[in-house]
Structure formats: structure tokens, C-alpha cells
Amino acid sequence: MKPSLNKTKLRKSSDRGYVHQGWLESYHSFSFTGYYDPAHMHYSVLRVINEDVFEAGQGFGMHPHKNMEIITYMLQGELRHVDSLGNTSVIKAGDVQCMTAGTGIVHSEMNASETEAVHLLQIWIFPERKLLEPGYKDQHFTQAQKQNRWCLIVSHDGRENSLKIQQDISLFATLLAENESLDYMLPAHRSLYIQLARGEIEICGQHLSAGDALMADGSKEFTFKALTQSEILLFDLPIHHSVDIMQQ
């Protein structure tokens, strides 16, 4: 069963907010700092997807967060993390980091290399409730785990050895080889957000290039076909219209 397109929305990479501030190049899928678009404040509980590139040796010094679930998906390079809970780590391509800001956390994120850039996606999710206990965890997911299949990397219950966060989402990743196809059945009363990290794909007759996003809701089956080797993130979310940003 192929979905009708009346509830499917494509957002091109070029429509995102763009910031280039010295060492940082960043594309914003939703309103963030100096980029404001009232039509793109959030999607369901998804508040931020920033595609960031840090120059060698650069990054953000210690800064605070509160009442947000923060996911970092590494695409290239090495990122050094230090936080007020005493955690220190260096995360690399294939790693996923989850941080519960809750009542408050302070952290830094710096490019650990003096020669290579860092390329990542930083994702913010509204938590199920405020003032949670802060927490941190990271995990590596191999290429084999993601190759031509949906690999669950983040969930609300930690199933299938995924990272657990405090919100009713399922975040999948796949590395889809050229000409390979993969299906996903979106349950009723759920919303779908696709972020194409790399490559070119076709969904529902629509062509997506790197940086593009697709949004949909309802009970539908989606078929993803890779036109080139592609890396895809799929968010299975609470139905979009059920989330009031003013209540978050």
C-alpha cells in the first residue's frame, strides 16, 4: 500500500536556516537562535535538528541546558564531551549520544582533532515531563547493524539495545545501498519525520537529496529506494497535531 501525498510534506535542504560563524557552519531545520520561522518551530516532540560542521580544534565551551532530551548523531570526525555530571568522552562516526538535561546540565562539545572537521546532527526532543534527573549515555552502532535495515538507535523503552530517552519516540537509522529498498509501516495516530543525512532517495514518488526532510502522519506504508548510497534517520513520533509547543 502506497501512501497518498495529501498528508506528506517535503522540506528541501535549501529551505533550512543557515549560519556560518567563523568555525561553525550550521543548518537549522527548525527555528533556532537567530533563525526564526513561525511555520517551523517544531514537528511533534521534535524541536531541533541542526546539521553542524565544526572546524578542527573548535567547538562550544561549557554552556547550560534544561528540560530537553538531546541526541547527537555523529557523521564524521571526533567530538570531545565534558559535562557537570563528571562525564568525559570522545564520540566518533557511528556513535550516538543521548543527554537528559532535566533540572539542568552544563557541558562542552569540542572537535577533538586539530586537523579534521566534525560533522554531526544535533537533535532536541521535548521530554515527557520537566525537571527530570539529568543523565548521559553514548553507544556505537556498527555499519553492519544499519546496512539495508532499520536499526533502532533511540527509544522510550530501550528495546533492541537502543539508547533510552524520556519521550515516546523511536529513532531508526539505516545505511541503504544504491538501488536497495526498505519499507516502513507508520502506525495509526503517529507522525513520521525523515532526515536524509547523506545520499539520494525516493519516497512516495518524491526525490530527496542530502539535507532534505519528509513529514507525514497517519497509518501508511512507506517505501524508501536509494538512488545512491544513503544514510537515513527515521523518527516515529506522537501525532504532530497533538503537541502544543506552548505547553512544552
CATH number at residue 103: 2.60.120.10
Is 65 marked as binding a ligand? Answer: yes
Is 40 marked as binding a ligand? Answer: no
Is 63 marked as binding a ligand? Answer: yes
Mean of per-residue pLDDT scores for the chain: 96
Q: Supply the DSSP symbol for 143.
A: H
Angstrom CA distances, 185 to 11, 133, 156, 174, 223, stand at 21, 34, 19, 15, 9
Dump pLDDT digits (tens) for 49-102.
Answer: 999 999 999 999 999 999 999 999 999 999 999 999 999 999 999 999 999 999
Helix (H/G/I), strand (E/B), else coil: 245 = helix
Q: Could you list the residue range(s) of the whole structural domain that residue 21 is in? A: 8-247
226-245: average pLDDT: 94
Task: Tell me if 52 is assigned to some domain.
Answer: yes
pLDDT of 116 reads 98
Q: Is 244 exposed, middle or buried (0-12, 13-18, 19+ CB in 10 A)?
A: exposed
Task: Tell me if 50 is assigned to some domain.
Answer: yes
Which band of pLDDT confidence, cut at 50, 70 and 90, is reported for residue 46?
Answer: very high
pLDDT of 4 reads 40
pLDDT of 241 reads 84
Residue 5 has pLDDT above 60, yes or no: no
The 10 Å CB-count burial string (b at 16+, else e) for 174-184 is bbbeeebebeb
Return phi, psi of residue 81, to 5°: -115, 135
Q: Which residues pair with 69 in a beta bridge?
A: 100, 125
Tally the C-alpha atoms within 13 A of residue 150's C-alpha that lie toward its C-beta: 19
Angstrom CA distances, 201 to 139, 209, 229, stand at 27, 7, 9
Question: Whole-prediction pTM value?
Answer: 0.96
Task: Tell me if 2 is assigned to some domain.
Answer: no
Task: Tell me if 185 is assigned to some domain.
Answer: yes
Contact 26, 233 (CB under 8 A): no
Contact 183, 226 (CB under 8 A): no
153-160: average pLDDT: 98
Task: Tell me if 3 is assigned to some domain.
Answer: no
Number of domains in the chain: 1
Angstrom CA distances, 49 to 1, 46, 144, 158, stand at 30, 8, 25, 22
Task: Tell me if 160 is assigned to some domain.
Answer: yes
Dump pLDDT digits (tens) for 194-233.
Answer: 999 999 999 989 999 999 999 999 889 999 999 999 999 9
Residue 3 has pLDDT above 60, yes or no: no
Rounded-to-integer distance, Cα 98 and Cα 7, Å: 30
Closest CA to 185 of 230, 227, 139, 234: 234
Task: Tell me if 171 is assigned to some domain.
Answer: yes
pLDDT of 242 reads 84
